Chains A and B, each alone.
Chain A
Amino acid sequence: GNSVTQMEGPVTLSEEAFLTINCTYTATGYPSLFWYVQYPGEGLQLLLKATKADDKGSNKGFEATYRKETTSFHLEKGSVQVSDSAVYFCALSGSNDYKLSFGAGTTVTVRA
């Protein structure tokens, strides 16, 4: 079945540092890939998505590129802020699948 593996956290950074969260997946066919963010005390929000190979999703300074050859969808941000402190989830949906499969989540803390 489909599955998502994320790098383990927690990750602690200083403001303006570069952030990378690794995500790799296993799926048949051509899945769609997503990053969700969960701010403290809130539900998950869709951060960005990519629906086909080589697509780049971007939002709020975050980017992720759908790499089919390496089955990866790593999340990056060039200069993080304290407000980026959250839990980040990588997720995928199969090409003919109504289900969304989530990774374990990575907790990111940004210090001033």
Chain B
Amino acid sequence: EAQVTQNPRYLITVTGKKLTVTCSQNMNHEYMSWYRQDPGLGLRQIYYSMNVEVTDKGDVPEGYKVSRKEKRNFPLILESPSPNQTSLYFCASRPPGLVNVGEQFFGPGTRLTVL
């Protein structure tokens, strides 16, 4: 089954404790991205990756890091989480090309709470 998986699905942590949210896709997609979803703001892109070893900032990259060492994986790293990073996070992937920009496959989401 074609899918994007994320782990963990739920995480409660404390300010300053480094964490990683993993994302993996099995569709051989080159493009992957991370979003955060907040009430009234919709989805905002954090980082994206056009291919292995190619990453770039989205609209709200502050406080986040990513890496893309393999095509299938795109982990999101919070080096020093703060309460304003409490949110619902989604990983997404899609086939390459402008024509496929809207054909995104989303993971199930990770609910993060930073105390």
Contact = CB atoms under 8 A, between A and B. Distances in A.
B108 A100 contact: no
A6 B43 CA distance: 13
Tell me the interface secondary structure of chain A in the complex: strand
B37 to A, nearest CB: 8
A45 interface: yes
Given A89-B43, A98-B50, A102-B43, A44 B106 contact: yes
Interface in A1-31: 4
Contacts of B43: 44, 89, 102, 105
Interface in A33-62: 34, 41-46, 49
B103 interface: yes
B109 interface: yes
A95 to B, nearest CB: 8
Contacts of A64: none
A34 B102 CA distance: 7
Contact of A46 (B31, B98, B102): B102
A106 B45 CA distance: 19
A43 B42 contact: no
Contact of B102 (A4, A100, A103): A100
Q: What size tier do the contact residues of chain A reach?
A: 20 to 34
B102 A93 contact: yes
Interface string A54-97: 00000000000000000000000000000000000101010011
A103 to B, nearest CB: 5
B21 interface: no
A104 interface: yes
Contacts of A89: 42-43
B107 interface: yes
Contacts of A46: 102-104
Interface of B: 4, 31, 37, 40-45, 48, 50, 58, 90, 92, 98, 101-104, 106-109
